[in-house]
Amino acid sequence: MAHSTVGVIFSNVHDENIPELSRHRTMASVPFGGRYRLIDFALSNMVNSGITTVGIVTKNNYQSLIDHLGSGKEWDLARKDGGIILLPPYSDETDKPYTTRLEALMSITGFLNHRKEDYVVISDCDGIAHMDIADIVRFHEEKQADITMVYHEEKIPCESSYFITLEPDKKSGRVKGLKINPADLRKGKKYNLYVNVMVMSREFLIGTIQDAVTRGFSSFGRDILTKNVDTLKIYGYEFKGFYAGVNSMEDYYRHSMELLDRNVRDELFGNRDIYTKVRDSAPSKYLDGAIVRNTLVSDGCVIEGTVENCILFRGVKVGKGSMIRNSVIMQDTVIGENVTLDCVITDKNVVIRDRRTLAGCAELPYFISKGRML
235: left (phi over 0), alpha (psi -120 to 50) or beta: beta
- Is the torsion defined by CA of 112, 73, 124, 231 positive or negative? positive
Q: Taking the complex as a whole, how short is the minimal distance between the CB of residue 308 and other proteins, in angstroms?
A: 8
For the CB of residue 53, give the shortest distance to other proteins in the complex, in Å: 21
158 makes contact with other proteins (CB under 8 A): no
Task: Work out the angle at residue 9's Cα, subtended by the Cα atoms of residues 275 and 332, and round it to the nearest 5 degrees.
Answer: 45
Kindly state the smallest distance separating residue 88's Cβ from other proteins, in Å.
26
Contact 140, 227 (CB under 8 A): no
- Of the candidate residues 29, 196, 256, 298, the single one contacting other proteins (CB under 8 A): 298
CA atoms within 13 A on the CB side of 92: 2
CB contact at 8 A, 134 and 49: yes
Scan residues 309-348 and list those touching other proteins (CB under 8 A): 311-312
By three-state DSSP, how is residue 107 classified? Answer: helix
Residue range at the interface with other proteins (CB under 8 A); choices 127-135, 152-160, 264-272, 355-363: 264-272
- Specify the DSSP class assigned to residue 47: H
Element (H, E) at 42: helix 38-48
Is residue 281 a contact residue for other proteins (CB under 8 A)? yes
Question: Which residue's CB is nearer to other proteins, number 273 or number 363?
Answer: 273
Check residue 366 for interaction with other proteins (CB under 8 A): no
- The binder of other proteins chosen from 20, 167, 267, 299 (CB under 8 A): 299
DSSP 197-209: EEEEEHHHHHHHH
In the complex, minimum distance from the CB of residue 148 to other proteins, in angstroms, rounded to a whole number? 30
The pair phi, psi for residue 202, each rounded to 5°, is -60, -40
Closer CB to other proteins, residue 73 or residue 370? 73
Q: Of 239, 241, 230, 120, nearest to 175 (Cα)? A: 230
Q: Binding pattern to other proteins, positions 23-62, x when CB under 8 A?
A: ----------xxx---------------------------
Stretch that binds other proteins, among 92-100, 119-127, 244-252, 304-312 (CB under 8 A): 304-312
Q: Does 176 bind other proteins (CB under 8 A)?
A: no
Q: How far is the CB of 277 from other proteins (least distance, A)?
A: 10
What is the C-alpha separation between 304 and 333, in angstroms, rounded?
14
Considering Cα of 149, then 153, then 159, then 161, what sign does the dihedral take? negative
State the minimum distance, in angstroms, from the CB of residue 127 to other proteins.
18
Stretch of residues binding other proteins (CB under 8 A), selected from 109-117, 129-137, 237-245, 278-286: 278-286
Judged by CB, which is closer to other proteins: 269, or 366? 269
Compute the distance between CA of residue 252 and CA of residue 345 in angstroms, rounded to an integer. Answer: 10
User: Where on the chain is the footprint of other proteins (CB under 8 A)?
Assistant: 33-35, 73, 260, 262, 265, 268-269, 273-275, 278, 280-300, 302, 304, 311-312
